[in-house]
């Protein structure tokens, strides 16, 4: 019996999976969190620039108040405020410098120790400054966060856990910049000095 050729059926088009209006996110497509991007270095340069700008604004506020003819330190805070401003002002640009420069060098370790000391003194003296409410305010939570982060960062560095050290110090630096920005708002002491 002769074989007959049976025409093949046209190829059935392959359908792609049904597309949903809200497709499930894929692991690769989820953008990394702000904290992860910061630690990886993607946002460190803008944060360092912000720290330097805030430091400049604090310096400008101090100079403006110096030439205003008013007493330099409010008597209510006196020495505590002087120490606080004297430690936070260099901590901002130094933190930015450490963030942007090579890590692990002798200079980084030495300046890192200085920065950690400045941060701890800044955070501790903040508890003596209660201008907003007459007692502790929400900004003091940043001081607690700073103390914990700096101490953890030191411990991680001594153990050689550099990734966790970096995360802790970046968190402390972020808290520093945030607190410094809040002090420049209208109605705050430095804000009133800056804005007149």
Instruction: Give the separation between CA 99 and CA 112, rounded to whole angstroms.
Output: 10
pLDDT, tens only, 138-190: 778 888 999 999 999 999 999 999 989 988 998 888 888 888 877 777 777 66
Please report the pLDDT score of residue 22 as a whole number: 47
Report pTM: 0.67
Instruction: Give the separation between CA 112 and CA 67, rounded to whole angstroms.
Output: 34
pLDDT, tens only, 157-166: 999 999 899 8
pLDDT, tens only, 94-112: 998 898 888 889 999 999 9
Angle, to 10 degrees, between the axis of helix 106-126 and the axis of helix 139-159? 150
**CA angle in degrees (0–180, nearest 5) for 116-117-121:** 120
Write out the H or E segment, with its range, that includes residue 52: helix 44-66
Distance of CA 108 to the CA centre of its chain: 18
């Amino acid at each position: 019996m002769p074989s007959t050729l049976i025409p093949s059926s046209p190829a059935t088009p392959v359908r792609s999976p049904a597309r949903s209006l809200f497709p499930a996110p894929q692991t690769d497509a989820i953008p990394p969190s702000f904290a992860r991007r910061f630690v990886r270095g993607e946002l460190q340069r803008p944060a360092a620039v912000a720290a330097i700008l805030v430091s400049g604004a604090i310096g400008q506020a101090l100079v403006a108040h110096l030439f205003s003819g008013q007493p330099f330190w409010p008597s209510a805070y006196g020495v505590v405020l002087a120490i606080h401003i004297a430690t936070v002002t260099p901590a901002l640009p130094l933190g930015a410098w450490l963030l942007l420069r090579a890590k692990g060098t002798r200079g980084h370790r030495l300046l890192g120790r200085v920065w950690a000391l400045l941060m701890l003194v800044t955070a501790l003296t903040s508890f003596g400054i209660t201008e907003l409410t007459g007692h502790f305010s929400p900004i003091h939570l940043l001081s607690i966060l700073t103390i914990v982060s700096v101490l953890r960062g030191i411990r991680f560095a001594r153990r050689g856990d550099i990734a966790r050290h970096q995360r802790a110090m970046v968190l402390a630096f972020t808290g520093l910049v945030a607190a410094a920005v809040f002090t420049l708002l209208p109605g705050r002491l430095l804000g009133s000095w800056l804005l007149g």
